[in-house]
Amino acid sequence: MSSPAQDVIRRHRYTVEDYHRMATAGILRQDQRVELIKGEIIDMTPIGSRHAATVRQLAKILVNTAGDRAIVSVQSPIELDDLSEPEPDLALLRPQADFYARGHPRPADILLIIEVADNSLIFDRDVKIPLYARQGIAEVWLFDLGTTKLTVYRNPSKGGYGKVKTLERINGLTVPILKDVMVDLSGVMGF
């Protein structure tokens, strides 16, 4: 008979540095869809055609709207801390001449994160968004393709986002950190 102490699940936490070394060593393949979240390597859900189309559409809108005021990053890594390197669907980043060639963007570089959820809604909402809040990411938008609702998260703190608003009809949204730039979302698929 085993004791409760023997039944404890042992987890091995990886740092961002460990994660990169595994990729360099070929343990993680470049085509593998994984991300490092709180020290754990997590498989990402496959991207369906509607999800991909929504991301492409949002990327085009953001590039046209932000212009030179921000860099639009699509499904690329951001380094939140020593244990987390997620790959949000989209991120608006502070302009940097080298486009972050010397290192992935960190929380101070991130103006907005957008997650598009199809099969990943619970993980995005319950794991990634609280992680973004703890790291002080000013604003997150969560597009739920299942319900065609957009949830806007603002005012981050260690305990989560202070302002959470779910929208069923979307025309335009301002991005306060970009001096209230209005993003026209009226043509986004299904919204």
Taking the domains of the chain in order of start, what are their residue ranges? 47-184
Nearest to 129 by CA among 148, 154, 149: 154
Mean pLDDT of 25-54: 92
First to last CA, the chain: 56
Cα atoms in the 13 Å half-sphere on the side-chain side of 106: 7
Band (pLDDT 50/70/90 cuts) for residue 4 is low
The pLDDT value recorded for residue 187 is 83
- Residue type (1 letter), 167: L
How do residues 64-101 score in pLDDT, each as one tens digit? 999 999 999 999 999 999 999 999 999 999 999 999 99
Nearest to 145 by CA among 51, 31, 10: 51
Cα–Cα separations (whole angstroms), residue 183 to 48, 171, 186 = 25, 8, 9
Name the helix (H) or strand (E) containing 167.
strand 160-167
The pLDDT value recorded for residue 10 is 78
Architecture of domain 47-184: Alpha-Beta Complex (3.90)
The pLDDT value recorded for residue 152 is 97
Band (pLDDT 50/70/90 cuts) for residue 5 is low
Backbone dihedral angles phi then psi of residue 122, each to the nearest 5 degrees: -65, -45
How do residues 137-185 score in pLDDT, each as one tens digit? 999 999 999 999 999 999 999 999 999 999 988 888 888 878 878 898 8
Alpha-carbon span 62 to 184, nearest angstrom: 9
